[in-house]
């Protein structure tokens, strides 16, 4: 039942915020803050509870709820939580708190409806991380879309064009995934006589290789758009720039992680041989995203657009780590999703605060701000250093593990990705220099971080320092999830995959060109 509370807590908060907003514009902020604080409290309780038990529930899930929904069609209300989904839920709750705090004074029109949509979107993202039935998963996947589309109303000058592009990309790719889900449903039913959408029963479905590849591509289309990945990224810069600060934080910090989570949770276990065949192309797309994002970030003058392209490049590391598929690269991909969510979400929150104070996002109109907002500048420097992969901060650990794991599979792609890290250092330092250093030619006199903003940034800073200096507890939390992934991936049916793909049951490893799950741990 506790899994249901993870869903209904933000949903009830959303309804209460909307209803109370008509009476007092301040109430929706406090209701939303309380709802997400309760959500975070549940996640922390589950972490402490299962941490004290050594994360050993005696099965694949820490918590599970499986109730009939539409049994005649094989659809169930199946929720499950393991270490991986627990971390993703905690990240979503944390970023929800950050987004509410960041928009506290920025949203002055229809405040209740704004917070209704924000919390409803967060409930949908949480559902994505908990759903195991594929129709239920798709329901939550689409549930994220409508409130996020409506939140563009509180955005900037070209918000409507950005909203339409965002809606089209996510809706079309989601429909492709739905077709793939239905194809897998019928293929499994014809092979076994059991028609079901339950993920655990669908693992190991015997599929002809061409069909497996097409179904895998349907899932990949939806996940790649959400990450995003070149070339299906063109919605992202406009969406990040034109959306209000709270929505930008959730888009970049939480919603993009649903793509990486989907790759790990669903795509690899359901289509191991097709993923092996496609791995070399996925690695190339990942390297292209890393380099392309870094190159375009350097050429931007709008601060939010710079961070948008930076995020595009960074999420390429997630795709790289997933399709390299060694233990190290998968661990790095999960760690990087967590660190990137906190780092990028915090940077967008800081840019929102800066735009609220100055009325601009153009670096050419800024400069010399350190003297007037030293605390804001110092925190921005910390998160910029994390974004560029400074050792001791969260992003470095994830990037390092992804690169080491990828190096075992494809040296060229690892080298290309490493070049992207060098490029990210250049634009991150350039962003700090152009915005905070140098002379204050326009005579800015601004208020520094408010206590509310400082508290949010302190929590974020503590999180990325912890992930950078002592990530082992986090790795231990999702280690069993990755071990279960190895068991789910194999053995591969050699009657439906190429001869080049084989499986070693003793190692628990899928062995294929460009795709390898090994048994080692750091």
| pLDDT tens, residue by residue, 465-491 | 999 999 999 999 998 889 888 777 754
- pLDDT at position 522 is 33
- CA-based nearest residue to 283, from 321, 310, 314: 321
- Asked if 151 contacts 246 with a C-beta cutoff of 8 angstroms, the reply is yes
User: Could you tell me which residues come within 8 angstroms of residue 501 by beta carbon, excluding any fewer than 6 positions away?
Assistant: 273, 276, 277, 492, 494, 510, 511, 512
Asked if residue 367 has pLDDT above 90, the reply is no
- pLDDT band at 309, cuts 50/70/90? very high
CA distances from 35 to 87, 118, 258, 319, 338 (A): 18, 12, 21, 32, 22
Band of the pLDDT at 186, cuts 50, 70, 90? very high
- pLDDT band of residue 53 (cuts 50, 70, 90) is low
Cα gap 482→323, rounded to integer Å: 14
What is the rounded radius of gyration, in angstroms, for the C-alpha atoms of the chain? 22
Q: Helices marked H in 53-110 — which ranges?
A: 83-102
Dihedral sign, Cα of residue 115, residue 117, residue 122, residue 126: positive
Confidence of residue 52 (pLDDT cuts 50, 70, 90): low
Q: What DSSP designation does 507 have?
A: T
Mean pLDDT score of the chain: 89
As given in the structure block, the two tokens for residue 69 are 């929904």
Q: How many H-runs (helices) and E-runs (strands) does the chain carry?
A: 21, 5
For the chain, report the end-to-end CA distance as a whole number of angstroms: 35
Report the candidate in 390, 385, 354, 386 with the shortest Cα–Cα distance to residue 370: 354
Residue from 435, 419, 475, 236 nearest 344 by CA: 236
Q: Is the pLDDT of residue 501 over 70?
A: no
Mean pLDDT of 79-99: 95
Residue pair 446/372 in contact by the 8 Å Cβ criterion: yes
Average pLDDT of the residues in 130-151: 95
Q: Are 257 and 88 in contact (CB under 8 A)?
A: yes
Residue 105 has pLDDT above 90, yes or no: no
Per the listing, tokens 């965002």 go with 166
Angle (nearest 5°) at CA 470 between 464 and 472: 115
Could you tell me which residue, 22 or 271, shows the higher pLDDT? 271
CA distance 289 to 417: 9
CA angle 383, 389, 394 (to 5 degrees): 65
- What is the pTM (predicted TM-score) of this model? 0.91
Q: Is the pLDDT of residue 362 over 60?
A: yes
């Amino acid at each position: 039942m506790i899994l249901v509370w993870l869903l209904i807590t933000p949903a009830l908060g959303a309804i209460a915020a909307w209803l109370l907003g008509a009476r007092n514009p301040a109430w929706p902020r406090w209701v939303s803050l309380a709802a997400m604080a309760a959500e975070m409290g549940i996640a922390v309780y589950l972490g402490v509870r299962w941490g004290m038990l050594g994360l050993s529930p005696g099965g694949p899930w820490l918590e599970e709820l499986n109730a009939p929904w539409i049994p005649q069609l094989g659809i169930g209300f199946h929720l499950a939580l393991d270490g991986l989904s627990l971390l993703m839920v905690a990240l979503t709750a944390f970023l929800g708190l950050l987004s509410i705090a960041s928009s506290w004074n920025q949203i002055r029109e229809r405040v209740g409806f704004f917070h209704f949509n924000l919390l409803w979107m967060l409930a949908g993202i949480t559902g994505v991380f908990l759903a195991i039935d594929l129709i239920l998963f798709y329901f939550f996947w689409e549930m994220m879309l409508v409130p996020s589309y409506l939140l563009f109303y509180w955005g900037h000058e070209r918000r409507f064009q950005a909203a339409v592009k965002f809606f089209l990309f996510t809706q079309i790719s989601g429909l492709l995934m739905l077709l793939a889900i239905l194809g897998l449903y019928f293929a499994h039913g014809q092979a076994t006589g059991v028609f079901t959408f339950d993920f655990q029963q669908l693992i190991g479905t015997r599929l002809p290789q061409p069909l497996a590849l097409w179904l895998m591509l349907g899932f990949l289309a939806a996940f790649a758009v959400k990450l995003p990945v070149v070339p299906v990224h063109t919605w992202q810069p406009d969406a990040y720039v034109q959306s209000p600060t709270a929505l930008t934080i959730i888009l970049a910090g939480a919603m993009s992680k649903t793509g990486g989570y989907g790759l790990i949770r669903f795509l690899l276990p359901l289509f191991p041989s097709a993923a092996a065949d496609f791995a070399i192309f996925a690695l190339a797309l990942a390297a292209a995203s890393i380099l392309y994002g870094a190159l375009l970030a350097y050429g931007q003058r709008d601060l939010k657009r710079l961070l948008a392209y930076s995020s595009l490049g960074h999420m390429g590391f997630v795709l790289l780590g997933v399709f390299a598929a060694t233990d190290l690269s998968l661990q790095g991909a999960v760690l990087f999703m967590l660190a990137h969510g906190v780092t990028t979400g915090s940077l967008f929150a800081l840019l929102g605060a800066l735009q609220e104070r100055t009325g601009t996002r153009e670096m050419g109109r800024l400069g010399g701000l350190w003297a007037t907002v030293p605390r804001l500048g110092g925190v921005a420097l910390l998160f910029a250093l994390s974004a560029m992969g400074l050792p001791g901060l969260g992003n470095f650990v994830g990037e390092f593990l992804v690169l080491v794991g990828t190096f075992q599979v494809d040296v060229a792609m690892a080298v290309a990705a490493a070049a992207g890290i060098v490029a990210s250092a250049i634009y991150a330092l350039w962003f700090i220099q152009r915005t905070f250093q140098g002379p204050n030619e326009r005579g800015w006199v601004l208020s520094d971080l408010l206590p509310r903003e400082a508290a949010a940034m302190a929590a974020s800073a503590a999180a990325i320092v912890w992930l950078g200096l002592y990530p082992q507890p986090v790795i231990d939390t999702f280690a069993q999830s990755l071990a279960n992934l190895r068991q789910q991936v194999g053995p591969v049916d050699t009657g439906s995959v190429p001869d080049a793909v084989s499986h070693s049951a003793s190692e628990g490893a899928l062995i294929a060109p460009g795709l390898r799950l090994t048994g080692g741990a750091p």
